[in-house]
């Protein structure tokens, strides 16, 4: 009966994967924090400059109004209506320009403050998104390393029981290919040694039968041969008949 496909797990070695993923995330967060401090200081300096500019503009506007008021008072005391009228028009025009300049400076300050808040929000959002992305990427990347190690540990346990036939291979994109190939070469060498021993055992069994060896000795040799053959079979071991026995 076919078994359902197992759900793929990316955390094969949680301690190793989370350790190095966390290390990567911490390094990037520290770098981002340093950049954030530099950007925050730069934006703060721009904001302070804007506040100072507004204060200076307000001071200049106040001084201009005071000077205009003094000049108008002097003209009024002189009793020249025409000059007073011209002075009023000039003062009105000057106050309008001063008010416009002050409004422009305040608007620039408001824009700088708005840009500063938006920049802070964007930095925080980008930082959270980057941390999440790095966490996912770290787990996926370390999975490409842990996966082959996990598979090799399982196959080594299998080889330790005498099962030397390995059919499994690494997935495309996995790391440690050279190490896995070395492991496969080891199993090929062990299988060759086991096959040579099997031939030697077959020859010994033929001689034993030819010389009329005891049945219990032959039975022990046949059992040993079955175990050796089992280790050479990929999955289900079908007993290989000894040659000329």
Where is pLDDT greater, at 98 or 227?
227
- In this structure, the answer to whether residues 35 and 149 fall within a common structural domain is yes
Other CB atoms closer than 10 Å to residue 71's CB: what's the count?
13
Tell me: do 150 and 63 sit in the same domain: yes
pTM for the structure as a whole? 0.55
- Are residue 146 and residue 51 in the same domain, yes or no? yes
In a shared domain, residues 146 and 96: yes
Nearest CA among 5, 8, 24 for reference residue 136 = 24
With cut-offs at 50, 70 and 90, classify the pLDDT of residue 238: very low
Residues 135 and 224 in one domain: no
Which of 110, 133, 160 delimits the end of a domain? Answer: 160
Residues 75 and 186 reside in one and the same domain: no
Domain extent for 118:
14-160
pLDDT of 60 above 80: no
Backbone dihedral region for residue 102 (phi beyond 0: left; psi -120 to 50: alpha; all else: beta): alpha
Q: Quick check: 79 pLDDT over 80? A: no
The arithmetic mean of pLDDT across residues 135-142, rounded, is: 86
């Amino acid at each position: 009966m076919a078994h359902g496909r197992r759900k793929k797990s990316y955390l094969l070695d949680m301690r190793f994967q989370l350790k190095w993923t966390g290390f990567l995330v911490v390094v990037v967060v520290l770098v981002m924090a340093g950049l954030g401090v530099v950007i925050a200081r730069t934006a703060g300096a721009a904001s302070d400059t804007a506040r100072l500019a507004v204060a200076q503009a307000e001071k200049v506007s106040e001084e201009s109004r005071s000077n205009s008021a003094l000049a108008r008072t002097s003209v009024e005391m002189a009793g020249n209506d025409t000059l007073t009228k011209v002075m009023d028009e000039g003062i009105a025009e000057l106050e309008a320009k001063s008010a416009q300049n002050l409004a422009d400076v305040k608007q620039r300050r408001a824009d700088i403050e708005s840009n500063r808040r938006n920049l802070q929000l964007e930095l925080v959002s980008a930082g959270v998104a980057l941390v999440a992305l790095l966490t996912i990427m770290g787990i996926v990347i370390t999975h490409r390393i842990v996966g082959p190690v996990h598979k090799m540990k399982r196959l080594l346990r299998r080889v330790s029981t005498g099962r030397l036939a390995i059919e499994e291979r690494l997935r495309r994109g996995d790391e440690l290919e050279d190490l896995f190939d070395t492991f496969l070469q080891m199993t090929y060498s062990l299988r060759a040694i086991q096959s040579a021993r099997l031939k030697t055992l077959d020859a010994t069994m033929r001689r034993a039968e030819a010389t009329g060896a005891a049945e219990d000795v032959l039975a022990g040799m046949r059992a040993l041969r079955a175990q050796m053959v089992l280790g050479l079979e990929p999955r289900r071991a079908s007993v290989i008949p000894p040659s000329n026995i």
